Structure 1
Amino acid sequence: MTRPLPELTRGQDAASERSRRREMRVDNGWTTVWQTRVMRRRLLRGGVLGVTAVGAAWLVACGGGKNEQQGGSSGQAARTGSATTTGNLNATLRSGIGSDVGSMDPQSLAGTGGGNWPNYTTHFITPLAIDPETSEVKPYAVEWKWVDNNTALLLTVKPGVKFHNAEILSAEQLKFNFERELGRAEYNPQFKSGHASQFTAVGDLTVVDEYNLRIGLREPDVVLPTRIANTLYLVPKNYVSTVGDTEFAAKPVGSGPFKFVSRTVDSEIRSERFDDFFNPRDGQYDPRLPFIKSLVQRVIPEDTARSAALERGEIDLAHNMSADLAKQFEGRSGFKVFYLPGDQPMHIHINTVAERDPSSGQPNPWRDVRVRKAANMAIDLDTIIKTILTGKEQVSFGPAQRSFGFPQDIKNQRFRYDPQGAKQLLVQAGYPDGFETPFSYPIGRWPNTEQVVQAIAGYLAKVGIRSKILAKQYQVVTTEFKTRGNYGLTFWGMSGGPDPGPNFRYGYHSTGAYTLSYDPTLGLDALIEQSEREFDANRRKQMIGEIIRKFYQNASWIFLYEPVTVVIARDHIEWTPYQKVLSNPEYWNIKVTS
């Protein structure tokens, strides 16, 4: 039986109700919309959306237009690089996105993190690729192999890979990118990268010749090729060294399928196809040479405003749409709806690093595991999934359930909805009357965020945890993470990925840029480091399972769900998704037919 969502406590619902009912003017510099803001979506009729399973993805093209088509075989065709039509090669694609990037520099503190997806594979490439079928690390712009008894990694650059300013990718360029990520680059040793923790095993970097770079390891790191494929977005040495970090972030140069043209902060990003892109349209891995000529990504934080812009023909597709808005477009002539598993299991970060509440000076209640377990038990996650989301989301236990080493038996240890048990734990922890806590969330990054946060705050209030909800720009939240400035709770998504190893470094290890909940008694640092040195797949799988169990059983986060990404497009858009799990927008893979 589906339970009703709780009402908010007084003090919350007075302000919340006003914001639910008031009409808002959304002015983004390019369009103005008057709308009624809806804070809680209506119950989804039937509970489950009508979608078609395609392996790990659900793809639905809805509408009566001539381009109504999607299916399993077409998904395979996209992955093997076969394309029968090209669409209009001079077309402009107008995409509606929910939030701007933190920085156009993909290696900077502000430019790293999932909210920078409009920039990543649009303007930049990583040297290696992940096969969507096998999750194996494959050659892309670079070949790779372990050498010297797995104590070093040899990268061999493929000839002809160019940056947008005509610099050529070489072993020296690769060396510069590793040095910059690690704060070793001569032009600026003080550069702070958001990916530094991913490359701590990297030791001596030796340019063997023009095309070969030998990476000596301080210690074995079996995950290093995956880290390179996921996070080493390449930047040109000469340009960055000449203009400096600030100018590079303002006028970035990459080697990706699109060249950067301009950016108006919090409004739009403009790009053009890079016709000298090294990977052709029939290439084996992605990204490939785009079909479209021009790309405009318009920042429209409210999904209702993105929906309105789509209806008026001001944009061609809208990313990260809410489930109920998507349902309004199903079956309508002239529109298509795509449902794909997202790559960022959602959770609520809990700050246990701070010893005291910075506002009151009182001890931080979140440092007590009983309080964290109570918060997990207070939330009726199944009802949230059924009534606010698509109904297709899976419960999250940290890393994605599809990831290597995920312990299937942990599903039997899930925190169950038990508000009375939650209250008892709070009493045992010394909080019989509950307590207040800040609860932050980023605006526009994920669909239904506001509705989910409001519902969670209501459930927490029922057991005595009273939330002060703080809506913030995505860039502000990422900066707070990396400076440990977000006390209390933060709604967030951490990239799932086929191998959870890189994200253990991000959010589980004591040195991680996103690690706010850390308990040294769990011994996670040693386990994570040991798993990185283990080349035996079975032993490493057991270690990863142990890490996931310890982190979950310690209630290190409030664990939520694995999202479903919803994209709505107009009928003249053709897109057969390449990735089974959508982590970056596939602008290179989209065709405009008129």
Structure 2
Amino acid sequence: MRLTAIALGCCLSIPAWAQTLTLGVSATPNSVDPHFNYGTSTQTLTYHLFDTLFQRQPDSTLAPGLALSWHAVEPTVWEIKLRPDVRFTNGAAFTADDVVFSIARAPNVPNATASYAGAVRSVDRVEVIDPLTIRIHTRGPAPTMPMDMAPLGIVSRQVGEGAATEDYNAGRAAIGTGPYRLIRFIPGQQAELERNPNWWGPAQPWERVVLRFLPNAGTRTAALLSGDVDLIDTPSPNDLPRLRGDNRFAVFSGASMRLVYLAPNQQAQVAPFITDNAGNPLPANPLRDQRVRQALSMAINREALATRIMQGTASPAGQWMPAGTYSHNPAVPVPAQDIEGARRLLAAAGYPDGFRMTMHVPNNARPTDPISAQAIAQMWTRVGVRTEVEAQPLAAYSPRAARMEYAMTMHGWGSIGHSGHPMVNMVATNDRQRLTGGFNRSGYSNPAIDEMIATAMAEMDDAKREQLLNQAVAASIQDGAVIPLYNLTNFWAARRGVEYRPTTYDYTLAINARPVR
């Protein structure tokens, strides 16, 4: 995956031990609890405070984090050596017991808006060999366990046992081993952090970091131009030419692993926000019909979305992984727009005159989501599905989307290493026992595809696993589990004097920013 930096200028590091870095971020986290929401909005904040066992590098490969080394002793046993001399910001020593506690806690956080259950799906039990050695016993062969568990933040048992999400938000339980510690969290406004001088990683140049939550792209750009912030993420495509042409600023970009997709509600027998053309409720949910889902996918011009709406900041997608990555299936093309074909499928499904529908999207996750949604709504209207768009703040949108209270929703998913990662979380049946479907926002459930995913994820041979994953990708896309749209390109813009290392993941971290001359 190619990463590029534009207009970097001179990259000589300078001492900045008393500096404050102010980040203007699009994400508006609704919690400091690292297990509450498996999404960019929360990770942008929590990864400053809580380390993971396996540290995700800018290109999405894994490096040692709190785990120094790991290897499979057997197909169902992984031995992990933990980093010594690590302390939480309250001074307590980090040990194997904290890992045991974190793995047990992750799938059981009350009211979590996006569960981390999928990250620990394969874990049967954790055996503590000594304070710095554990063995993870899995329910079956689990060759991708380190990649799947990489997003999981490690919390303190001493502080976290008995603590609720509210205790993390208030700062009482927000005690991690990360490069920064929490000073103050003001929901909807900002988080204030200070450097952890005892962090095990490289010394950080920023004494203080302020994350300002600026969900509006225009507001973020204005804050950068006025000097109120030092760096912003996800600038509007409309603002990129201006920022690139102004020598007071630098723009950084990197190919992303994030797919933006639509989730059609296949759970409700009678779909919310869907009516006939006269406004009367339909007796059955049309989105439960595979032909309707395929028609909606066929009606979308993904090339136009990527080049015109996204202004070249995205690539059309027809599956989870970008081309050239492991388990991208070359036999699954980006669907071509076919208006007449979509109309025929709708007629065959019993909707020759279409129907009316409302699509719900977040207005503060990505600046282009509402604009893309409006374009898609026009495309669907052309085939007879008269679509309106309602954009909502992420804090209101996320819990309702998780409860599948909408007919059609828009989401983003950043994959780690293989297509099984999104399929376990987004496509597999939401199953509390098997810990699958933690981010299944469509209510999709197909036992045959569940079995295909499970079989692939248990295959220890990389080549054979890729073949099995490719089969599951093809089957789930053909069945219309979700509707892929495009893969994003990540962008950051900073004032001169700040350099940002672009990444394939799209959460913004102070550890990737450096002062430069």
Question: Could you state the TM-score of these two structures normalised by the residue count of structure 1?
Answer: 0.79
- Is 1:529 the counterpart of 2:454? The answer is yes
**Could you say if the C-alpha distance between residues 117 and 209 of structure 1 is closer, same or farther in structure 2, counting changes exceeding 3 Å?**
closer
CA distance in 2 between counterparts of 1:576 and 1:407 reads 29
Code of the residue aligned with 1:92 in structure 2: it is T
Which deviates more, 270-279 or 556-565? Answer: 556-565
Give the direction of change, closer, same or farther, for the CA distance of 1:423–1:320 in structure 2 (3 Å limit).
Answer: same
- What letter corresponds to residue 428 of structure 1 in structure 2? A
Give the equivalent residue in structure 2 for 1:216: 137
Partner SS state of residue 331, structure 2: helix
2:359 corresponds in structure 1 to 439
Does the 8 Å CA contact 1:268/1:299 hold for their aligned counterparts?
yes
Query: Superposition pairs for residues 27-426 of structure 1, below 5 Å?
Result: 56-61=2-7, 68=9, 85-108=13-36, 111-130=37-56, 136-146=61-71, 148-183=73-108, 194-229=115-150, 231-241=151-161, 243-251=163-171, 252-280=174-202, 289-358=203-272, 360=281, 362-401=283-322, 402-411=324-333, 414-426=334-346
Q: Distance in 1 between matches of 2:446 and 2:337?
A: 27
Residue matched to 2:440: 515
CA distance in 1, matches of 2:457, 2:252: 36
In structure 1, what is the Cα distance between the partners aligned to 2:67 and 2:355? 53
How far residue 276 of structure 1 moved from its aligned partner, in angstroms, is: 0.7
Q: Secondary structure at the match of 2:414?
A: coil
More divergent stretch after superposition (542-551 vs 397-406): 397-406
Deviations along 1:425-480, one digit per CA (max 9) or x if unpaired, are: 21111112211122111122113222111111111111111223221221333322
CA distance in 2, matches of 1:567, 1:224: 31
Structure 2 partner of 1:490 = 409
Q: Distance in 1 between matches of 2:361 and 2:468?
A: 32
Gaps of 5+ in 2: 274-280, 431-436
Q: For residue 290 of structure 1, report the CA deviation from its aligned partner.
A: 2.2
1:346-378 deviation line (CA, Å, top 9, x unaligned):
111111121212463621111111111111121
**Greater displacement, 267-276 / 567-576:** 567-576
CA distance 1:553–1:569, shift in 2 (3 Å): same
Out of 139-148 and 377-386, give the one that drifted further. Answer: 139-148
Partner in structure 2 of residue 479 of structure 1: 399
Identity %: 23
Distance 1:238 1:212 in 2: 19
What is the letter of the counterpart of residue 6 of structure 2? Answer: V
Amino acid at match of 2:13: T
8 Å contact kept, 1:322–1:566: no
Amino acid at match of 2:356: E
Q: What residue in structure 1 maps to residue 276 of structure 2?
A: none
Q: Deviations over 1:196-227 (max 9, x none)?
A: 23323212322221211222222222221112
For residues 556 and 508 of structure 1, the distance between their equivalents in structure 2, rounded to whole angstroms, comes to 6
Letter in 1 for 2:329: P
1:346–1:559 Cα contact (<8 Å) kept: yes
Task: Classify 1:362/1:468 alpha carbon distance in 2 versus 1 (closer, same or farther; 3 Å).
Answer: farther
| C-alpha distance 403-451 of structure 1, shift in aligned 2 (>3 A) | same
- SS of structure 1 residue aligned to 2:148: helix
SS at match of 2:227: coil
The alignment's C-alpha RMSD in Å is 2.3
Q: Among 538, 542, 546, which residue is 2:467 paired with?
A: 542
1:101 deviates by 0.6
Q: How far off is 1:582 after superposition?
A: 3.1
Point out the more displaced range, 206-215 or 145-154: 145-154
Return closer, same or farther for 1:148/1:294 CA change in 2, 3 Å cut-off.
closer
Asked if the contact 1:128/1:137 (under 8 Å) is kept, the reply is: yes
Any idea what SS the aligned residue of 1:117 has?
A: helix
Report the Cα distance in structure 2 between the residues aligned to 1:433 and 1:154, rounded to whole angstroms: 59
Amino acid corresponding to residue 383 of structure 1 in structure 2: A
Is this contact kept in 2: 1:481–1:513, CA < 8 A?
no
| Alignment equivalent of 2:383, drawn from 456, 460, 463 | 463
When structure 1 is superposed on structure 2, of 399-408 and 501-510 the one drifting more is 399-408
Q: Indicate conservation of the 8 Å contact 1:437/1:466, yes or no.
A: yes
Q: CA deviation at 1:181?
A: 1.9
> Deviation of residue 541 (structure 1)?
0.6
- Conserved 8 A contact 1:403-1:500: no
Q: State which drifts further: 305-314 or 242-251.
A: 242-251
Instruction: Give the C-alpha shift of residue 144 in structure 1.
Output: 4.0
Residue matched to 2:433: none
| 2:265/2:271 contact within 8 Å kept | no
Query: Residue 168 of structure 2: SS of its match in structure 1?
Result: helix
SS in 2 for 1:343: strand
Q: Residues 142-172 of structure 1: CA distance to partner in whole angstroms, max 9, x if unpaired?
A: 1343455222122221111121111211111
1:504 to 396, 419, 423: 423
Secondary structure in structure 1 of the residue aligned to 2:206:
coil
Question: How many Å separate the matches in 1 of 2:165 and 2:58?
Answer: 33
- What is aligned with 2:505? 582
Partners of 1:499 and 1:583 in 2: CA distance: 17
**Counterparts of 2:125 and 2:111, CA distance in 1:** 19
What are the ranges of 5 or more consecutive residues in structure 1 without an aligned counterpart? Answer: 1-54, 62-66, 75-83, 184-188, 281-288
Which residue of structure 1 lines up, in the alignment, with residue 278 of structure 2?
none
Change beyond 3 A, Cα 1:147–1:565: closer
Amino acid at match of 1:501: G
The letter of the residue matching 1:488 is: A
Question: For this pair of structures, how many residues does the alignment match?
Answer: 500
TM-aligned CA distance change 1:102 to 1:449, over 3 Å: same
2:514 is aligned with 1:591? yes
Distance (Å, rounded) in 2 between the aligned partners of 1:559 and 1:131: 25
